[in-house]
């Protein structure tokens, strides 16, 4: 009788161990997937070794996939650790490492990474950005410029081809880098309250979990009363609406980030 009881306990232990292993494997697999939480018009997913397919709400997007949006289109991906990636129109980006390693070929994205999630990195041909517990918007036009706007928290930025020198971009600041740049310009202060009201990566989606933090940045700017740069003065005149927002111009002439003077 005792022998039968012991064998039953052993089998039960093996079943429990196997079940726990399966759960851990499934949890790890789910962590490497993003879920489509918003899709508008022409959005396609390109999974590794699989033909492109239209994205649908609640689709799972596996690690290593790419997302491509058409004109007047947008999408949002959410991950298990509450990382959120929003994709603007005419954009191509890919991700791995649970959505925390993003390569933006062209277009505009918003990336919100919660604190204590291990951080994230955005890379374009010109600029690379490291973020931890931060909400940023990032725009890339390889032949024209890369643009970073930090909405809350701070980011570390460096030239993709010259990673030796890094600078910190704080909340309420913008950095624009032109192709072929060999040094980073200084970030400039922007009017965050108008960014929050006009940027479609914010206004055309549900409120972000970090919205109160971003509003706090805007309130601090209002109290300080300092001059703020107008990011609508696009260095190429392309006017990418997914990132650009009208802001109040500085009272005195201000040098455009990068090279050259701002156009009137």
> Domain range holding 14?
1-31
Please indicate, yes or no, whether residues 42 and 26 belong to a single structural domain of this protein: no
Please indicate, yes or no, whether residues 158 and 171 belong to a single structural domain of this protein: yes
Please indicate, yes or no, whether residues 182 and 72 belong to a single structural domain of this protein: yes
The pTM of the full predicted model, rounded to 2 decimals, is 0.77
Please indicate, yes or no, whether residues 1 and 40 belong to a single structural domain of this protein: no
Closest by CA to 69, choosing from 91, 99, 40, 102, is: 91
Q: How far apart are CA 46 and CA 42, in angstroms?
A: 13
Q: Is the pLDDT of residue 134 over 70?
A: yes
Please indicate, yes or no, whether residues 27 and 145 belong to a single structural domain of this protein: no
Assign residue 110 the CATH number of its domain: 2.60.120.1440
- pLDDT (tens digit per residue) in 223-264: 988 788 766 555 444 344 455 433 333 344 344 444 444 333
Give the pLDDT of residue 242.
Answer: 52
Give the pLDDT of residue 11.
Answer: 53
Residue 158 tokens read as: 């460096």
- pLDDT (tens digit per residue) in 64-99: 899 999 999 999 999 888 899 999 999 999 988 666
Q: How far apart are CA 65 and CA 13, in angstroms?
A: 38
Average pLDDT of every residue of the chain: 79
Please indicate, yes or no, whether residues 102 and 216 belong to a single structural domain of this protein: yes
Please indicate, yes or no, whether residues 8 and 137 belong to a single structural domain of this protein: no
Give the pLDDT of residue 119.
Answer: 80
- Number of structural domains in the chain: 2
Q: Where are the beta strands (DSSP E) in the chain?
A: 33-40, 43-46, 53-54, 60-62, 66-69, 74-79, 84-87, 92-96, 101-113, 120-123, 127-131, 134-141, 145-152, 154-159, 162-170, 173-177, 188-189
Please indicate, yes or no, whether residues 2 and 84 belong to a single structural domain of this protein: no
Please indicate, yes or no, whether residues 155 and 46 belong to a single structural domain of this protein: yes
Please indicate, yes or no, whether residues 18 and 66 belong to a single structural domain of this protein: no
Q: For residue 238, tell me if it sits in a domain.
A: no
Give the pLDDT of residue 90.
Answer: 94
Q: For residue 116, tell me if it sits in a domain.
A: yes
């Amino acid at each position: 009788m005792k022998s039968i009881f012991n064998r039953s306990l052993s089998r039960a232990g093996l079943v429990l161990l196997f079940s726990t292993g399966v759960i851990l494997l499934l949890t790890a697999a789910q962590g490497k997937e993003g879920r489509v939480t918003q899709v508008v018009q022409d959005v396609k997913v390109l999974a590794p070794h699989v033909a492109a397919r239209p994205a649908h709400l609640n689709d799972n997007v596996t690690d290593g996939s790419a997302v491509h949006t058409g004109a007047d289109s947008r999408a949002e991906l959410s991950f298990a650790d509450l990382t959120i990636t929003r994709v603007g129109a005419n954009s191509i980006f890919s991700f791995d490492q649970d959505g925390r390693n993003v390569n933006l070929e062209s277009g505009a994205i918003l990336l919100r990474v919660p604190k204590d999630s291990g951080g994230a990195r955005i890379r374009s041909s010109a600029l690379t950005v490291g973020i931890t517990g931060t909400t940023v918007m990032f725009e890339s036009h390889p032949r024209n410029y890369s643009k970073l706007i930090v909405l809350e928290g701070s980011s570390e930025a460096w030239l993709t081809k010259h990673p030796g020198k890094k600078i910190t971009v704080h909340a309420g600041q913008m950095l624009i880098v032109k192709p072929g740049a060999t040094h980073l310009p200084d970030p400039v202060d922007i009017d965050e309250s108008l960014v929050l009201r006009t940027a479609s990566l914010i206004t055309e989606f549900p409120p972000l979990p970090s919205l109160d933090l971003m509003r706090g940045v805007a309130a601090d700017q209002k109290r300080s009363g300092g001059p703020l740069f107008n990011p609508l003065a696009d260095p190429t005149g392309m006017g990418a609406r997914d990132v650009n927002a009208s802001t109040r111009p500085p009272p005195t002439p201000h040098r455009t980030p990068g090279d050259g003077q701002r156009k009137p």
